[in-house]
Structure 1
Amino acid sequence: MQTPYPPRLVFYSHDTMGLGHIRRNMLLANTILTSRPDTEILLINGVRESGIFYFPKGMDSVTLPTYIKTPDGEYEPCSLGNDVHRLVELRVSIIQAALNAFNPHVMIVDNVPRGAMSELNTVLPLLKQRNTHLILGLRDIIDEPSVVQRQWKKLDNSTAIRDYYSDVWIYGDAGFYDLTRAYNLDDDIRKKVSFMGYLDATKHPRQPKTTDNYLAAINRPYILCTVGGGQDGYHLASVFARATFPQGMMGVLITGTMMPAAEYEALQKIAAQRNDLCVIRFIANPLLLLHQAHSVVAMGGYNTTIEILSLNKRALIIPRVSPRQEQWIRASSLAKVNLVACIHPSELNTQTLNDWISKNWQPENPRHYLSLDGLRTFAEKINILLPKPAGKALTSLVGV
């Protein structure tokens, strides 16, 4: 029997590039635990670093064997051989087992309606049969409209949304980018869509005090550079490592754990020749460093960008432009209203970076242009869904 208490919520994210999906889901999960501390929340993700993140009471994770996305946008195993189909079978079995045991009232699927490599195809109909409330969570921008329409048609995403999802929640502001119009979504799908507003990063809960020794090396005002997971961040990182910082300031570079070892070591060698550069491999929650930074230089992932906007930081975005145009669309649009500065990666070099660092430029206040009420809206909607009356016996997810 599915009992109403404790309320149980699952976040699924496929996590094939960077740490943005799990960080966003952790922020959302913490918001729920603040308003409903009796909730049990399970994160199903593909991030090896999930064991390093701080999980408060009521939250835990299942980490799947990982995919990695190739430069042309295809998936392949990160470590387990070369047979991606065998990896899909393994992940599906883990997902089914976790959901069957945890028995959620609500499941939020991040970004990909059928999951990476369609690994949720067998799970979705069974969850619907169990009356699990299925929600698709989307960031504000997915890609260029023509690309999204072609990809969604190929994967038959619209059918999945019609058949299985009761809601589509967009973590963005329709006044800035109306995903439903840009991608020409059908009317029946539009009726399921709610624009939540952006997720205010200043609402991140306090983290346990860190004892990381890098803090001792940051002994003056600094410019922070972050390159997402790091797998394709070396160009930006290497340019930043050679930049000229203003007198009395230093640079702090977070490379990400996915940056290849040889590239990370090359950056460490550059740092060893300077007394004004600190290179950090990984920090679970960089928000404190971001908050205290004089300026920020970053790739344009959704989470990093929204954190920059939430804190109203002086920032230069050098967005990823492959395999998706999502980051370029967002960053260039924000730059048009002077909320961030933006450089196309093809134009990035030491001179262009030094020019921006030395420029006397300040951003407009993002809260005058964008809704940052996403966390409040999310909590209100989830709190309506979580209380469930006792229902009929559940059908097992395995062997139906």
Structure 2
Amino acid sequence: MRQIISCDGYAPGSRPFRPAAGPARIALYSHDTLGFGHWRRNLLLATALRRLDPAPQVLMIAGMREAGAFDLPEGVDTLTLPAYGKDSVGDYRARDLDLELGELAALRAASIRAALVSYDPDLLIVDNVPRGAQGEMVQALTALRARGKARIVLGLRDVIDTPEAVRGQWLRQRNHTALRRWFDEVWIYGDPNFYNLVTEYSFSEEFASRVRFMGYLDQRERLVSAISPAPQASPYVLCTVGGGRDGARICDIFTQASLPTGHRGILITGSQMPASDRAALRARIAARGDMEMLDFTPEPLRLIAGAARVVAMGGYNTVTELLSFGVPALILPRTRPRREQILRAERLAARHLVGMIEPDRLTPENLSAWLAGPPPRPERVREMLDMSGLDCVRARAFELLYPNIRRICA
């Protein structure tokens, strides 16, 4: 198997000429069904890429209406698609529109193709799903590859699922064929010394030849422009469950837990949690007086960074937020329909970077005990994990956009 490529740098101070047609154009696609992790990861990448010199224009294609609530950097805009939802076993459906799944997929596919053909990007980064959700990227990828201008990259998080599940899924969805047909590179936002996606899943030499391990994405860059509530006057424990669609039980147990002396509790339920569950939680919190509840905040990063401890699920974006700021955290990983979150959480817990309890085993008593006990040691994260992902993304994007500029290999 070929050696996996690491990220490269380019010569400091290099200033390529601006193309006659105007700034370079980058597009980022995320399908977005459950929670906000894919969107937030792409927004972080867009913000980082805008710091290239010269700064590219960035179009984000998002699969959920909440994308419109997020603050966008200058030079970044978004196309928001009508949303998919998922049921308890992971099957797709229309989230809000009264459309059959095939009708919604066709609507989204036509919108994506029209946008990308008109925008004509120099670089397209597809998040997580090579063919797009329900194959919705196929038309656009075919059109862009036929045009021959865009460099096309697949971006993957550190862990996808169990090896057996991933190998079966990639065969069913013809992902390897998609990579051969449309993609130039695969960027993995992780550290192979923590989880080597290529070897864990026994992917082929052909796949490995496209791979660049970029490192984890340091979320501290988001704080520069974060818009969020004012800092809290007293220490607090934060509980957050992403979009919230499957987080009601965790939130309910959090509202029953005992907080450390002198601490308050802040609960973010997420906009996708059913209204009846939010109402029940609000009533429980009102009865105790040392907690408050937010339905949704587009930028929770200041709340995360300022927390004494955080109780959260184990998605990639949430975990990298916690690790980036060294916040003591208890991870309650989703275990179905995918095992991605628990695989990540188990390895982090084994290194004492986080605490972990499986959600089905969570009780008010063991949550209270964790809050009262010694915290994990997340301040050691940069000794144990490569957190240079954004620098590597910028460096490689620069090389793809401006291939004639001299670079220095790291």
TM-score category of the 2 structures, normalised to the smaller one:
over 0.9
Of the candidates 126, 141, 162, which is equivalent to residue 144 of structure 1? Answer: 162
Contact kept in structure 1, 2:186 and 2:212, CA below 8 Å = yes
Question: 1:352 and 2:370 equivalent?
Answer: no
| Superposition deviation, residue 37 in structure 1 | 5.4
Distance in 1 between the 2:137 and 2:305 partners? 37
Contact kept in structure 1, 2:243 and 2:273, CA below 8 Å = yes
Aligned partner of 1:375 in structure 2 is: 390
SS of residue matched to 1:253:
strand
| Superposition deviation, residue 362 in structure 1 | 3.1
Q: Residue by residue, what CA displacement relative to the aligned partner does 1:316-351 show, whole Å, maximum 9, x if unpaired? A: 000001110000000011000100000011110101
The change in CA–CA distance for 1:209 and 1:369 in structure 2 (over 3 A counts) is closer
Distance in 1 between the 2:95 and 2:243 partners? 14
TM-score, normalising length: structure 2: 0.91
Gaps of 5+ in 1: 390-400
Q: Residue by residue, what CA displacement relative to the aligned partner does 1:67-110 show, whole Å, maximum 9, x if unpaired? A: 01111111100011140000011101111111122110110000
Write out aligned runs for 1:66-85 (5 A): 66-85=83-102
Distance in 1 between the 2:400 and 2:21 partners? 11
Aligned partner of 1:232 in structure 2 is: 246
Question: 1:27 and 2:44 equivalent?
Answer: yes
Question: 1:302 and 2:319 equivalent?
Answer: no
Question: 1:322 and 2:339 equivalent?
Answer: no
TM-score, normalising length: structure 1: 0.93
The change in CA–CA distance for 1:320 and 1:38 in structure 2 (over 3 A counts) is same
Contact kept in structure 1, 2:255 and 2:285, CA below 8 Å = yes
Write out aligned runs for 1:187-336 (5 A): 187-207=205-225, 209-210=227-228, 215=230, 218-336=232-350
Aligned partner of 1:119 in structure 2 is: 136
Q: Residue by residue, what CA displacement relative to the aligned partner does 1:188-234 show, whole Å, maximum 9, x if unpaired? A: 11100000000011122522655x5xx59x44110010001100000
The amino acid of 2:64's aligned partner reads V
Gaps of 5+ in 2: 1-18, 405-410
SS of residue matched to 2:109:
helix
How many residues are matched?
384
Aligned partner of 2:35 in structure 1 is: 18
| Superposition deviation, residue 387 in structure 1 | 3.4
Aligned partner of 1:162 in structure 2 is: 180
Aligned partner of 1:398 in structure 2 is: none
Distance in 1 between the 2:167 and 2:286 partners? 48
Contact kept in structure 2, 1:105 and 1:386, CA below 8 Å = yes
The amino acid of 1:379's aligned partner reads R
Contact kept in structure 1, 2:23 and 2:54, CA below 8 Å = no
In the TM superposition, structure 1's runs of 4+ consecutive aligned residues that sit over 3 Å from their partners are: none
| Superposition deviation, residue 49 in structure 1 | 1.1
Question: 1:338 and 2:352 equivalent?
Answer: yes
Question: 1:180 and 2:198 equivalent?
Answer: yes
The change in CA–CA distance for 1:251 and 1:166 in structure 2 (over 3 A counts) is same
The change in CA–CA distance for 1:253 and 1:37 in structure 2 (over 3 A counts) is farther
Contact kept in structure 2, 1:318 and 1:345, CA below 8 Å = yes
The amino acid of 1:384's aligned partner reads E
The amino acid of 1:202's aligned partner reads R
Distance in 2 between the 1:250 and 1:340 partners? 21
Aligned-residue RMSD, C-alpha: 1.5
SS of residue matched to 2:138:
coil
Distance in 1 between the 2:167 and 2:82 partners? 29
Aligned partner of 2:8 in structure 1 is: none
Q: Residue by residue, what CA displacement relative to the aligned partner does 1:253-294 show, whole Å, maximum 9, x if unpaired? A: 110000000001111101111211010011111110011100
Contact kept in structure 1, 2:117 and 2:140, CA below 8 Å = no
Aligned partner of 1:107 in structure 2 is: 124
Contact kept in structure 2, 1:298 and 1:317, CA below 8 Å = yes
| Superposition deviation, residue 4 in structure 1 | 5.3
The change in CA–CA distance for 1:208 and 1:180 in structure 2 (over 3 A counts) is closer
The change in CA–CA distance for 1:94 and 1:284 in structure 2 (over 3 A counts) is same
Aligned partner of 2:4 in structure 1 is: none
Of the candidates 363, 371, 374, which is equivalent to residue 377 of structure 2? Answer: 363
Contact kept in structure 1, 2:87 and 2:93, CA below 8 Å = yes
| Superposition deviation, residue 246 in structure 1 | 1.4
Contact kept in structure 1, 2:226 and 2:302, CA below 8 Å = no
Deviates more, 1:49-58 or 1:171-180: 49-58
The amino acid of 1:174's aligned partner reads P
Give the fraction of aligned pairs with identical amino acids, expressed as a percent: 41
The change in CA–CA distance for 1:3 and 1:186 in structure 2 (over 3 A counts) is farther
Contact kept in structure 2, 1:37 and 1:58, CA below 8 Å = no
| Superposition deviation, residue 3 in structure 1 | 6.3
Contact kept in structure 1, 2:26 and 2:124, CA below 8 Å = yes
The amino acid of 2:267's aligned partner reads L
Distance in 1 between the 2:140 and 2:390 partners? 28
Contact kept in structure 2, 1:202 and 1:311, CA below 8 Å = yes
The amino acid of 1:160's aligned partner reads A
The change in CA–CA distance for 1:222 and 1:229 in structure 2 (over 3 A counts) is same
Contact kept in structure 2, 1:9 and 1:40, CA below 8 Å = yes
Distance in 2 between the 1:144 and 1:353 partners? 27
The amino acid of 1:84's aligned partner reads L
The amino acid of 2:398's aligned partner reads N
Write out aligned runs for 1:48-87 (5 A): 48-87=65-104
The amino acid of 2:385's aligned partner reads L
| Superposition deviation, residue 5 in structure 1 | 2.7
Aligned partner of 1:395 in structure 2 is: none
